[in-house]
């Protein structure tokens, strides 16, 4: 299957700092990428849909100023958690839509954020 790379896989930061997470589709172009948050033993919670070259669409209840999403190219989307606080600690996962008609979603490995 197609490969989606997510970096970093884990990050620890101090409260008040900003953290950037990258999501790259390595062997295909992804016009649409998705960002999720996942709490332990819970399912994926969609945060936002990122389309290349346009503003992200955020789900209800997700603060767009807190979670900045940029999709500047067909292979890269970034999620920046601004002014992170301990309650932002979570597992963040991206996915990329394989665009050649079939529309399968391929996921990154996930990024574990711990805010101290």
Q: Which is nearer to other proteins, 67 or 92 (CB)?
A: 92
Tell me, rounded to whole angstroms, the distance of Cα 75 from its chain centroid. Answer: 13
CA distance 89 to 92: 9
Q: Which of 14, 43, 60, 65 binds other proteins (CB under 8 A)?
A: 43
The residue to which tokens 């603060």 are assigned: 63
Q: Which is nearer to other proteins, 68 or 105 (CB)?
A: 105
Cβ 103 to other proteins shortest distance, Å = 6
Q: How far apart are CA 22 and CA 70, in angstroms?
A: 10
- The site for other proteins (CB under 8 A) is made up of 1, 4, 6, 32, 34, 41-44, 46, 91, 93, 95, 97, 102-110, 112
């Amino acid at each position: 299957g197609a490969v989606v790379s997510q970096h970093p896989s884990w990050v620890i930061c101090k409260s008040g700092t900003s953290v950037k997470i990258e999501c790259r589709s390595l062997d295909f172009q992804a016009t649409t990428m998705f960002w999720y948050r996942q709490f332990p033993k819970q399912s994926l919670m969609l945060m936002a849909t990122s389309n290349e070259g346009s503003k992200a669409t955020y789900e209800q209840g997700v603060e767009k100023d807190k979670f900045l999403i940029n999709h500047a190219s067909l292979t890269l989307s970034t999620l920046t958690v601004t002014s992170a606080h301990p309650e932002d600690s979570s597992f963040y996962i991206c996915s990329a839509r394989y665009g050649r008609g079939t529309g399968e979603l391929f996921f990154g490995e996930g990024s574990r954020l711990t805010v101290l």
